[in-house]
Amino acid sequence: MAKHYFAAMTRNKTSLAGTGLVIGSLTLILSLIAIQMIGLRGGAYIGIITFVLLPMVLATGLVLIYVGIRRQRRLGESIGMKDAGAFPIVDLNQERTRKAILGVVGVGTVSAVVLAAATYKGVEVMDSTPFCGTVCHTVMQPEFTAHQRSPHARVACADCHIGPGADWFVKAKISGAWQLVAVAFNLYPTPIPTPVHNLRPARDTCEQCHWPTTHVGDLLKVKSVYTDDEANTELKTAVLLKVGGLAGREASGIHWHVNPDVQIRYRSSEDRQTIYDVELTQPDGTVKLFKPADETPEEASEWRTMDCIDCHNRPTHQYHLPMDEVDNAMAKGYMDKSLPFLKRESMKALEAQYNNHEEARAGISRQMHAFYQENYPEIADEKNAAIEQVIRELQVIYTSNVFPEMKVTWGTYPDNTQHFDSPGCWRCHDRKHKTDDGEKISRDCGMCHTILAQEEESPEILETLNP
Ligand code: HEC
Ligand code: HEC
Ligand code: HEC
Ligand code: HEC
Ligand code: HEC
């Protein structure tokens, strides 16, 4: 019976081609799976090939075999042949036949191994950060640029977006294949929407490197802000953030939310910027439901379990506001603070409308030169190098945060670890969410931090810390 079948599969050219495709793709799929099983990491696209492309070839092969056999039958019947599906006789007693079979098997095996190795290498290249970030250049440019400036610049895209294990790998492959199509046909949205609804839970990505129970303790954050006046007066804010975490057996502070013993779930709007019901399950198993001020609307999302990403939604694609960027560059000495009205003029240059990066670079340069030449001709001469440096810095700031082609501008992507530029913590800690007993999610200013100084010229606390 099996013999009969094999003959039918190889008797005509169409079926023979089909059989070739089937054997070839099957061997490749099996080799690629074996390679991944012995622990070699092929990267993101090995899956597209193993699980999407090759199976398509396999299916085509099967269809060809079927079509060939049917054609052959019909042809045979039409000329009155009785035994239309019969076999060639394979006689292993004949040396010629034996050699032929050995040859086919030998060549087949070698080519399969070579092909698999080549595919493997190709995939490794495709999975690298430069590939993800630059092949779809315009589309991923904002995320890639921000990633390169972030503390995670050396962490590959796939480590957060795919993570380890086979099942997510397959999911990522399938969505990856769709993304390639979207890019090829310009079907992607601008800007790329956030949040990523099917992002893998942080447990399997972030927590591969960061323990949720690490005790961070109190974190002192000191920030300089410069005013709009001629002298760019510097004001300092110092906040002691109670990041906390698990110290001994006690969890406290901000990282209390990710203590493995508590669970917080919530329902929200599509963009997660408006949070409706919040459900807290405490270590002893009791559950509290905090309801929002208004009715939860129909279109509220499914319940989502809070993890790192509900606060750290910008761990690597960090975009900043012009104000923060300029303050930071001045504080770090990248821009010469002695230039009059530096803060005010930098803000103007950054916030002007430009259609693309080239226009922005030219515009920033023109405006800064014009301002100093018109108002402070001596300084423009004397400190030309410092002004050029300022211009280069502002150009980098602009081109790292604003991407007109992708409709990404200042503030397009909110950062949820704060409560100033977007609601952040105050999406829940708004004193409006309450249980039926009237218990509210707190917004007590002392719960998350101690404000040691707020926009002061020379805060006493910093004098004490850095005498
Ligand atoms: C440190 C982890 C990490 C790395 C590394 C990383 N991402 Fe992300 N990415 C995230 C998180 C977290 C989000 C936002 C999740 C959310 O809010 O749902 C995100 C969101 C995105 C988005 C959606 C738009 C947005 O900004 O929210 C794109 C596109 C993206 N990443 C592409 C990339 C590319 C390309 C790379 C490599 C150059 C990369 N990511 C590397 C963690 C990471
Ligand atoms: C491959 C390992 C790795 C993964 C995965 C990873 N991180 Fe990190 N992360 C690091 C390292 C290393 C640093 C320290 C970088 C430094 O100090 O320069 C860091 C730093 C941080 C910081 C402090 C950054 C700052 O602004 O000072 C935060 C917050 C953070 N990670 C959150 C996350 C989140 C959230 C995720 C998941 C989306 C994640 N990380 C995934 C390795 C990783
Ligand atoms: C409730 C919000 C929230 C959640 C949930 C959260 N974090 Fe944080 N985390 C913060 C804040 C706020 C800070 C300190 C301020 C900052 O870095 O912007 C911080 C700081 C950190 C730092 C930097 C500490 C340092 O010394 O600089 C790391 C690393 C970090 N978090 C990792 C994580 C990881 C991993 C998870 C998930 C297991 C997580 N966080 C969950 C809010 C949160
Ligand atoms: C999804 C809703 C939600 C978000 C977003 C959220 N929290 Fe919470 N948080 C809660 C709930 C619920 C509690 C428990 C009720 C309470 O203590 O008020 C809580 C408690 C806390 C506590 C007290 C923990 C303890 O020791 O008991 C701190 C500190 C805190 N949150 C900080 C933050 C910070 C900082 C952010 C923003 C970076 C934030 N939270 C964002 C829901 C949230
Ligand atoms: C749920 C936690 C939480 C509560 C409640 C809270 N804050 Fe904050 N606050 C934060 C976090 C997180 C930051 C971010 C610090 C950073 O990373 O820059 C912050 C930063 C600040 C800063 C420094 C801003 C800056 O310039 O960077 C000030 C000032 C501040 N908060 C004031 C307040 C006041 C006033 C209240 C009471 C109405 C309050 N906060 C309540 C979490 C909280």
The answer on pLDDT for 48 being more than 70 is no
Q: Which atom of ligand 5 is nearest to the CA of 454?
A: 29
Predicted local distance difference test score (pLDDT) of residue 462: 87
Nearest residue (by CA) to ligand 3, atom 41, is: 308
The answer on pLDDT for 87 being more than 60 is no
Please indicate whether residue 424, judged by its CB atom, sits closer than 6 Å to ligand 4. Answer: yes
CB 127 within 8 A of CB 161: no
Predicted local distance difference test score (pLDDT) of residue 198: 84
Predicted local distance difference test score (pLDDT) of residue 121: 63
The answer on pLDDT for 402 being more than 60 is yes
Nearest residue (by CA) to ligand 3, atom 33, is: 308
Residue of higher predicted confidence among 87 and 188: 188
Predicted local distance difference test score (pLDDT) of residue 212: 82
DSSP state of 297: P
Predicted local distance difference test score (pLDDT) of residue 112: 72
Q: In what order do the strands lie in the sheet with 263-268?
A: 287-290, 275-281, 263-268, 304-305
Q: What is the mean pLDDT of residues 6-12?
A: 71
Alpha helices in 149-203, H assignment, sequence order? 157-161, 166-184
What's the whole-number average pLDDT of the chain? 87
Nearest residue (by CA) to ligand 4, atom 14, is: 441
Q: Which of 252, 425, 434, 449 gets mutated to test ligand 4 (max ligand atoms within 8 A of its CB)?
A: 425
CA-based Rg of the chain, rounded to a whole angstrom? 32
Q: Which of 243, 328, 426 gets mutated to test ligand 3 (max ligand atoms within 8 A of its CB)?
A: 243
Distance 317 CA to ligand 1 centre (A): 6
The answer on pLDDT for 313 being more than 90 is yes
Residue whose structure tokens are 């040691």: 452
Burial letters 244-279, b for 16+ CB under 10 A, else e: bbbeeeebebbbbbbbeeebbbbbbeeebeebbbbb
The answer on pLDDT for 359 being more than 80 is yes
Among the residue ranges 61-75, 143-157, 178-192, the one predicted with the least confidence is 178-192
Q: Looking at the CA of 313, which ligand is closest?
A: 1
Q: Which atom of ligand 1 is nearest to the CA of 309?
A: 12
Q: Which residue, among 267, 279, 310, 270, has the nearest Cα to 424 in the 3D structure?
A: 310
Q: What is the mean pLDDT of residues 348-374?
A: 97
DSSP state of 25: H
Q: What is the mean pLDDT of residues 236-261?
A: 88
Rounded CA-CA distance 300/276 in Å is 8
Predicted local distance difference test score (pLDDT) of residue 81: 66
Among the residue ranges 115-129, 163-177, 257-271, the one predicted with the least confidence is 115-129
Per-residue tokens: 163: 């993570």
Q: Which atom of ligand 5 is nearest to the CA of 428?
A: 1
